[in-house]
Structure 1
Amino acid sequence: MRIPTVLAATALTVAVVSQPAHAAAAPAVVFTKIYYDSPGSPDFGKNSSLNGEYAQIRNRTKKAVSLKGWTLRDATKRPDHVYTFGAFTLGAGKTVTVRTGKGKDTGTTRYWNRSGGTYAYIWNQTADTGYLRDASGRLIDSCSYNSSRAAFRIC
């Protein structure tokens, strides 16, 4: 009778050992959407069209998160394609929309304040990747898309 008990305990130990020690924790702040093909584009960078292009970022936690110094960017290496958050706190469970064009910053919408024709757009119309990094430069989340059939990507 003792042998089956030992075998059962051994099988249980093997099953437990074969599982990963812990799953990677999902980031607290994530991309939820990138709207990369704004209505009306190409229209030579009208502000209304630039503001139709945006990225949304959500705080999935029950605590507010300071985004001061955090950056949002696309896949290019161009320094003018980096948005840096100033003093801004994203409330618990809240979403902020970062629009490409000009406007007045609020608690739910921030503006990249870009202008200058078709080169003012950030997000490529068919394929790109958005990167969200914290103030120390650590990658927090990314969102990629590769489609000319849609105007946005739910991340």
Structure 2
Amino acid sequence: MHIRSLLMAAALASVVVAISQPAYAAGPVIQINKIYYDSPGSPDFGANSSLNGEYAQIKNRTKQAVSLKGWTLRDKTNRSDHVYTFGTFTLGAGKTITVRTGKGKNTTITRYWNRSGGTLAYIWNQDADTAYLRNASGMLIDSCSYNSTRYDYKIC
């Protein structure tokens, strides 16, 4: 009987510990959700429709809005023109923002990198690359890598 009571107490303690952990402990609260790296029609000569078919999605997993002002999204290269910097923008609780490579009008659900100029305008390599999301202080918040020509996108 005494062992049974100890086992029950231990089981109860583990449940209490599990419940007290934040719901987002498994990953970052703001995360790269998806990268569509092989846009329809590419490779081509960098048509805007094809450039905008290439994108990265960032999701807010919290129940609070988060300011992304000064946050950056980039690929693995060290090229300064491969860095997207958020201006004044707040990502709503549970919401997703799509950052498209080409040109367009920024909205609450889509931002544009505003790239053009042929095949060199693409950000995401069609076979392997890594996306990095950093906060305004430069701290790495999340990353997502892919290494496949079999698929067009990666769910992170």
Q: TM-score, normalised by structure 1?
A: 0.86
Deviation at 1:42, TM superposition (A): 1.0
Q: Report % sequence identity.
A: 75
Q: Secondary structure at the match of 1:119?
A: helix
Return 5+ residue gaps in structure 1 as ranges.
17-21
Partners in 1 of 2:78 and 2:91 — Cα distance?
27
> What corresponds to 1:121 in structure 2?
122
Deviation at 1:102, TM superposition (A): 0.1
Amino acid at match of 1:54: Y
Deviation at 1:27, TM superposition (A): 1.1
> What corresponds to 1:146 in structure 2?
147
Return 5+ residue gaps in structure 2 as ranges.
15-20
Are residues 1:82 and 2:83 paired?
A: yes
Partners in 2 of 1:135 and 1:28 — Cα distance?
15
Q: Secondary structure at the match of 1:101?
A: coil
> What corresponds to 2:18 in structure 1?
none
> What corresponds to 2:58 in structure 1?
57
Deviation at 1:95, TM superposition (A): 0.1
Are residues 1:69 and 2:75 paired?
A: no
> What corresponds to 1:42 in structure 2?
43
Q: Secondary structure at the match of 1:45?
A: coil
Partners in 2 of 1:138 and 1:117 — Cα distance?
32
Query: Following superposition of structure 1 onto structure 2, how do residues 14-25 of structure 1 map, counting pairs within 5 Å?
Result: 25=25
Deviation at 1:34, TM superposition (A): 0.1
Partners in 2 of 1:42 and 1:131 — Cα distance?
23
Amino acid at match of 1:137: G
Partners in 2 of 1:101 and 1:131 — Cα distance?
19
Larger Rg: 1
Q: Secondary structure at the match of 2:138?
A: coil
Partners in 1 of 2:44 and 2:53 — Cα distance?
12
Query: Following superposition of structure 1 onto structure 2, how do residues 104-115 of structure 1 map, counting pairs within 5 Å?
Result: 104-115=105-116
Q: Secondary structure at the match of 1:131?
A: strand
Q: TM-score, normalised by structure 2?
A: 0.85
Q: Secondary structure at the match of 2:51?
A: helix
Amino acid at match of 1:82: V
RMSD of aligned residue pairs (Cα, Å) = 2.5
